[in-house]
Structure 1
């Protein structure tokens, strides 16, 4: 009996030590986009595991994915994050033209895949990260990836898919600093049905304060062609939405995505808003792990 108890205790202890070791071995480097923008990249987890590339959303950074990076099950994989142009530790061009063309965002992702030497990565994109994946697929197809997960992903920037919050978006692009910051605070509050703890929210707010103002003004002009990106895709595609998303309309977005590609799988998180990977992180991590396992079984 004592031996049985000891053996059961050793397994979680091993996972804890294994997880702590992996977290301590975060690798930082940069890659350069075709137009010269420098992108900050981070890696953790198992360097020999299946690559998973996480792409954050508007006003975020790689720190958005902490609950995934710290998850013991997901640390079996090679976990790659990067800061989008105009965000976090990546370069922040001052010209709006550096952000208006969606092809540049897709090319950034291609540069990360190339620079990290990731073999058939799974792409996981939140919100604006969905547009980044779509523009990548539009230019490159799906030959170099194993699949994609859209997390409350923006499918198209159209009125039926993007609920109107005119006062918030107007404040976010205001020239007055106080108004600008209050707009970003309001935007972040809209991200959540279950509001995060204060420490997490303050970190997200700091992320937002780092984001380039020209980028925020230019992003609404981004366009995609689903018929050139989602329609031809043959790799598994999973779309996850929070039921209470206030920033992206789940029903309209899913309907449009499935119109472009009926093979898309979908999942609704009943207790989440725009950020189920934070609001229901345990379930999200479990579902993501199971999706990766299904990819590996093929």
Structure 2
């Protein structure tokens, strides 16, 4: 064909490719909205990935938010899933009620998760709970059962608040509640550093630190007495359960926590990442994403 025509044809192809790429990017833009818990707390929710894919609901840990799951939400490997994240009460952009009862009663956290599942109309999602998020899942299972979910993943999850499972840091947990702002923020920084055996890059750490500084002080004090019904929740779980822990966790004794969870639910499988601390989904994100995808696919069968 003549050169000018060929050039016009090439330009048209480039324009079409650009439009398709722009549309794909627009389609992958996160969706944000709020859900109201039964006690009136507003919960900030975000969705990403394929809205028609198998659903995963991520539940972050203490001093976190949905931003903790950026390595999953932004992973090309996981874009075929419908990924739902939300900020726990007292965290991120969710409501921060005053008073201890809003946080010590484990049923409230369970009802928050149930409200998110109902609002999203996610069809039998897999629940993924990190640290405190594991306690939220246990309370959800104890209160609401497992009929509406396909499986649960405990990522360095808190099983019980016992000295056999929780590493003792009395000064740290005391100073998280200090009335002195500098002491409080320095302790938040120290807590975050303990979350990682391999520290994140400075930009990521700064984001997580800003994230943590948004958390309610009332929540930080009260949550240390939060009720956790792991005995009922894990024992009654008939869906697949995966216990995924970093062996170098400085906040939770990984092996005793896994042993207790498997005592409550002998069918629970476990994976121990020898090179990770408390946050394997960030420290070894590619491996974690592969293992998560494998579990979600098998749980959905």
Aligned length: 284
1:60 aligns with 2:64: yes
**Alignment gaps of 5+ in structure 2:** 1-16
2:155 aligns with 151
**Alignment gaps of 5+ in structure 1:** 1-12
Q: 1:171 to 1:19 in 2, by over 3 A?
A: farther
1:45 aligns with 49
1:217 aligns with 221
**What is the aligned counterpart of 2:212 among 208, 229, 237?**
208
Q: 1:248 to 1:101 in 2, by over 3 A?
A: same
The TM-score, its normalising length taken from structure 2, stands at 0.91
1:3 aligns with none
Q: 1:186 to 1:52 in 2, by over 3 A?
A: same
Contact 2:276/2:283 (CA < 8 Å) preserved in 1? yes
For residue 295 of structure 1, report the CA deviation from its aligned partner: 2.0
1:283 aligns with 287
Contact 2:241/2:269 (CA < 8 Å) preserved in 1? yes
Q: 4+ residue stretches of structure 1 with deviation over 6 A?
A: none
**What is the aligned counterpart of 1:79 among 80, 83, 96?**
83
Q: Deviations over 1:76-134 (max 9, x none)?
A: 01010000000000000121211110110000000000011111010000000000000
**What is the aligned counterpart of 2:297 among 269, 289, 293?**
293
1:260 aligns with 264
**What is the aligned counterpart of 1:30 among 31, 34, 59?**
34
2:232 aligns with 228
The TM-score, its normalising length taken from structure 1, stands at 0.92
Q: 1:17 to 1:152 in 2, by over 3 A?
A: farther
Report the Cα distance in structure 2 between the residues aligned to 1:19 and 1:74, rounded to whole angstroms.
19
Q: 1:290 to 1:221 in 2, by over 3 A?
A: same
Report the Cα distance in structure 1 between the residues aligned to 2:230 and 2:110, rounded to whole angstroms.
14
Contact 1:149/1:240 (CA < 8 Å) preserved in 2? yes
Give the CA RMSD over aligned residues: 1.7
Q: 1:159 to 1:243 in 2, by over 3 A?
A: same
